[in-house]
Amino acid sequence: MQPASSSLEEQWPDLVAAVSAAIDLEATARTSGALVRRREIRSAEALLRLALAYGPGGLSLRMAAAWAGVSGLAELSDTAVMKRLRRAAPWLGEVAGALLRRAAAAPPTQGPLPGRRLRIADGSMITGPGGKRKWRLHAAFDPVAGRFTDLALTDERGAESFDRTDWRAGDVALGDRCYARPPALRRILAAGADFIVRTGWTRLRLLDADGAPVAWQRIFGELAVGEVAERVVSVDHSGKGGKSRGNAVFPARLIVLRLAPEAAARAAKAQHRRQNRCRSHRPLQPLTVRATGYLMLVTSLPAEVSAAEVLEAYRLRWQVELAFKRLKTLLGLGRLPAKGEALARSWLLAHLIVALLIEDTSRQLLESLPPPAAPRRCTSLWRVTQALRDAMLVAIRGVLSVAALLAAAAILDQRLHERCHRRRTSQFDGARRNGHA
């Protein structure tokens, strides 16, 4: 029996064309070993569709098998779906990598730092079922284009670092405190790029012009609320054990902004929470508590870029947090169902492929939209992502009619039955048998 579908093939070719413009699906599927024997899954396109239906499509393995059978894609058991998706994980990584390379090759959009491309580095944790296995997604985000330019998956032990991104001349790497590591900052400078990184009074060893450590108390005491202090410093990169202390240094600018009392109080409260979470019995140092009322940035940008422009650029750091929130909430990346490493990686990569396709399409959509008419209205990337997500899920899974489902009862027979683990789950069949007796 050949099942019927109402509009399964109407939008899918457009999505495949968008992916095929970045990578040869058939050739890479063969070379990666994702598609070896073409029995039920006869093409790379079908394998990609199955992976996307299981991942961002929100189907379980059993329901993915049922969907594939009803739609005429393939006759597979849930175990067969699992095995094919496990083997496809490296290939899905190649597809996601090709989409990222295409995004990185796009001409940069004019941003807050003229002539430079701002890229924000950050990471986010993804927890598996039961909270046992955790993954960390590392990303570089372009806040002007509103898209990811680099993505990497590691386990929870993979530390966040600027070294996970390939920096090019003209880039400006922006990161929070955990990215303030001198070796990585030196490598950014060696690549011809610049950095803006937040720091604390102990995070980096900063030296004044005379080679003495920066006097933080004096800097803090001179600032009123909202005032900014700036000075040229040297970042001491002494290496392990401080063997080359005073010799391995590179210049930078220190920019300090005194926060408003409300923001300072929130920062101090957050610092105390972090201290309690670490279960440390040592009291916070007075200078640590005082430093929570200040925003301290270190940058390699030249003096022609003013401190106000640097601060304005750093305020865009929250754009990557909002991008992670869209990934986890709208696309469901935070609800990982798979326990095994290979299947979990396949599920995560399928989500990232759809996220990158949404970013490609959102750029076209935003360019066609007129600017907001009212001065207090702004473009909502959340709503744009939500609308494009719904459209892509229709393209992936299609729209099956009720008649098509009723006509496919023979295919659904094995997929809609399960073992009776509890007595109550078998009561329905017992009641039906009694009713037909």
Q: What angle do CA 53, 55, 56 make, to 5 degrees?
A: 80
Q: Is the pLDDT of residue 134 over 60?
A: yes
- Give the strand pairing for 147-155 and 134-142: antiparallel
Rounded Cα gap, residues 394 and 11, in angstroms: 8
Residues 168 and 191 sit within 8 Å (Cβ to Cβ): yes
Mean pLDDT, residues 198-222 taken together = 91
Give buried/exposed letters for 349-386 (b at 16+ CB in 10 A, else e). bbbbbbbbbbbbbbbeeeeeeeeeeeeeeeeebeebbb
Global pTM?
0.87
Q: Is the pLDDT of residue 424 over 70?
A: no
C-alpha 406 chain-centroid distance = 40
Q: Is the pLDDT of residue 435 over 70?
A: no
Output the CATH code of domain 115-257+295-326.
Answer: 3.90.350.10
387: β partners:
none
Find where tokens 């796009």 sit.
106
Residues making up the chain, counted from first to last: 437
Q: What's 266's DSSP letter?
A: H
Mean pLDDT, residues 72-92 taken together = 93
Q: Is the pLDDT of residue 193 over 90?
A: yes
Q: Is the pLDDT of residue 116 over 80?
A: yes
Radius of gyration of the chain (CA): 27
Q: Which tens digits make up the pLDDT trace of 139-153?
A: 999 999 899 999 999
**What pLDDT, on a 0 to 100 scale, did the predictor assign at position 363?**
85
Encoding tokens for residue 149? 């330019």
Rounded Cα gap, residues 2 and 65, in angstroms: 16
Q: Residues 6 or more apart from 235 whose CB is under 8 A from it?
A: 182, 185, 204, 205, 206, 207, 249, 250, 251, 252, 298
Q: Is the pLDDT of residue 430 over 70?
A: no
**Residue ranges covered by each domain of the chain:** 12-104+332-369+378-412, 115-257+295-326
Summary mean pLDDT of the chain: 87
**What pLDDT, on a 0 to 100 scale, did the predictor assign at position 7?**
44
Q: What's 169's DSSP letter?
A: T
Q: Which tens digits make up the pLDDT trace of 174-185?
A: 999 999 999 999
Lowest mean pLDDT segment, chosen from 126-135, 202-211, 239-248, 286-295: 239-248
Residues 103 and 147 sit within 8 Å (Cβ to Cβ): yes
**What pLDDT, on a 0 to 100 scale, did the predictor assign at position 149?**
93
Encoding tokens for residue 200? 């604390």
| Helix and strand element counts for the chain (H, E) | 16, 9
- For residues 129 and 377, the model is more confident at 129
Computed from CA positions of residues 180, 181, 183, 187, in that sequence, does the dihedral angle turn out positive or negative? negative
Computed from CA positions of residues 199, 201, 202, 206, in that sequence, does the dihedral angle turn out positive or negative? positive
Residues 299 and 197 sit within 8 Å (Cβ to Cβ): yes
Cα 202 to Cα 6, 60, 128, 209, 223: the distances in Å are 63, 48, 35, 18, 20
Q: Quickly state the pLDDT bin for 10 (edges 50, 70, 90).
A: low
Q: Quickly state the pLDDT bin for 2 (edges 50, 70, 90).
A: very low
Lowest mean pLDDT segment, chosen from 48-57, 268-277, 324-333: 268-277
Rounded Cα gap, residues 91 and 249, in angstroms: 43
Residues 267 and 238 sit within 8 Å (Cβ to Cβ): no
Q: Is the pLDDT of residue 96 over 70?
A: yes
Q: Is the pLDDT of residue 23 over 80?
A: yes
